[in-house]
Chains A and B, each alone.
Chain A
Amino acid sequence: MARRFFRHYNYNKIAGTVSAAALTILLCSCSGADKTASSQSFVFDTYSQITVCGNDSEDVLSEVGSILSEMSGDFDLCYDMTANELPQNDLYCDCLSKTRELNRRYGNSINVFCGKLTKLWGISTDSPRVPADEELAAVLAELPDALTENIPYGAMLDFGAVSKGYACDKVFEVLEKKDMDYGIISLSSTTLMYGKKHGGKPFRTGLTNPLTGEGYAGIIETEAAFISTSGGYERYFSPEGTNDKYCHIMDMTTGRPVETDFASATVIVPADVTDGGILSDFLATMIFSEGTGNIDKWLVCDDFQVVAISADGGVYSNCEGLELNESGGFYYEYK
């Protein structure tokens, strides 16, 4: 009956078209999809999202995951132990020597020996408080110089300003060794964009609006890169009954949270820069702390790009891939 009905159609042609379409659908749904693996976890006291794409992506994903959680645990130890109680492992020595190298190159306002200061304030813990002046003076008097070669007995380390960037450098090494197509490693404030996305599209990173903590100040399009952001809009504490805000980034000269006119500072380092992760993390904190008064010197550097946002929405940037959210009240002070 059906045959008689459709006798004027060319069955071979129809069958050919239908199978070609089916094959296309099948190929589209398979290509890439089976090579991508992703996971989420809580490491470095934050939420991490990992996506890797390439051969054996599941294995690479679990390797990256265990590196991050192991490192996160090791760096966590620093908050509770003094330097001489910490296990003498390569991780601390290597991270310390790389931070010192950055201190020598860019300045020593970031000091990994500030652990006692961090602990005194307890910001980002359950019981933050504003310490008395005498307490601060006592800790500051014992604060070792950032470049000191001999770690004094009882000094407490805090790698908070560099640990996520350092971890991204280690993940970069793994992704490169395994020859992955691409990977996105997000540790909230530091992200590694590795390789090339399929179709050659750039990576797109949303920059949280630091004035409200909601929505975007802009979107950054990049090739493979390390991107770090630093700001006081998320981790801070306000003592009950006051409007004071104390952010988690400390000024090593006063022992108090930094007073800066920046709401956030973001640094983009191309992924082909060796140890670019720790560099981006370090510089983001430093540029944020220094404020608008010192921004000019950072905007003329060639090896990294900066997007710094002042407390009134003014943007200082030399980043070519930035789409600014101008309707959200952000405007260029420097472009």
Chain B
Amino acid sequence: MNINDDRKLIRVRDIVLIAAVLAAAAAVYWVTADFSGKKRYAVISCGGETVAEVSLDRFGDYSFPETGDMVFTVGGNGISVSKSGCPDKICMRTGNISRAGEAIICVPNRTAVTVKNAPGENDIDVVLR
């Protein structure tokens, strides 16, 4: 039987077209993955300027020159401030945050950690504290 026979259910050129579409989809995903794959992340800012964005699935301790001696810890329950030299320690007492809109504020260090979602997820707009 001839493989190019038009009566066949799937022809070679169908397979090539499907493969091309899949390849294009993969390419689009590859280009955008860094953004859309970052489902929930924490934005660390100091004095209103963003210092870093940390994905909440990258467990570990983080510190940044802008935020001095503060240490931010990402673990199974979200992100927390595990060390800070500020006098009141409100930031450390806040504990873990993990839902979009939640924030840890350190007024003496003028530092804020806020959890954000990739756009489109239906979560809360703001946290009242």
Contact = CB atoms under 8 A, between A and B. Distances in A.
B101 A206 contact: yes
B109 to A, nearest CB: 10
B93 interface: yes
Contact of A8 (B13, B95, B97, B129): B13
Q: Is the interface of B mostly helix, strand, loop or mixed?
A: loop
A206 B110 contact: no
B125 A47 contact: no
Contacts of A184: 125-126
A205 B124 contact: yes
A138 B79 CA distance: 46
Interface string A5-46: 110110000000000000000000000000000011110011
A208 B128 contact: yes
A205 B128 contact: yes
A189 interface: yes
Contacts of A206: 99, 101-102, 124, 126-128
A193 B128 CA distance: 12
Interface residues of B, number: 33
A266 interface: yes
A95 interface: no
B1 interface: no
B47 interface: yes
B73 interface: no
A244 interface: no
B52 interface: no
B107 A45 contact: yes
Nearest to A14: B17
Contacts of A215: 99
Given A204-B124, A206-B101, A214 B129 contact: no
A193 B95 contact: no
A201 B120 CA distance: 12
Interface string A228-247: 11000011010000000000
A39 B93 CA distance: 25
Contacts of B45: 40
Contacts of A8: 6, 13
A117 B123 CA distance: 41
Given A206-B102, A216-B99, A6 B17 contact: yes
Interface in A142-177: none
A204 B121 CA distance: 13
A269 interface: no
B71 interface: no
A213 interface: yes
A188 B105 contact: yes
Given A6-B13, A205-B128, A206-B128, A46 B107 contact: yes
A118 interface: no
A292 to B, nearest CB: 21
B76 interface: no
A281 to B, nearest CB: 12
Which of B90, B105, B108, B129 has most chain A Cβ within 10 Å? B129
Interface in B69-92: 87-88, 90
B93 A213 contact: yes
Interface in B16-43: 16-17
Contacts of B101: 206
A161 B96 CA distance: 28
A62 interface: no
Nearest to B13: A5
A49 B127 CA distance: 10
Pairs of residues from A and B, 9 with the lowest C-beta to C-beta distance, nearest first: A214-B95, A208-B129, A206-B127, A204-B124, A47-B105, A41-B48, A206-B124, A186-B126, A47-B112
10 contacts: A40-B45, A46-B107, A49-B114, A124-B88, A205-B126, A206-B101, A206-B102, A207-B128, A219-B124, A235-B90
Given A47-B107, A49-B103, A204-B125, 4 more contacts: A42-B48, A42-B107, A188-B105, A189-B128
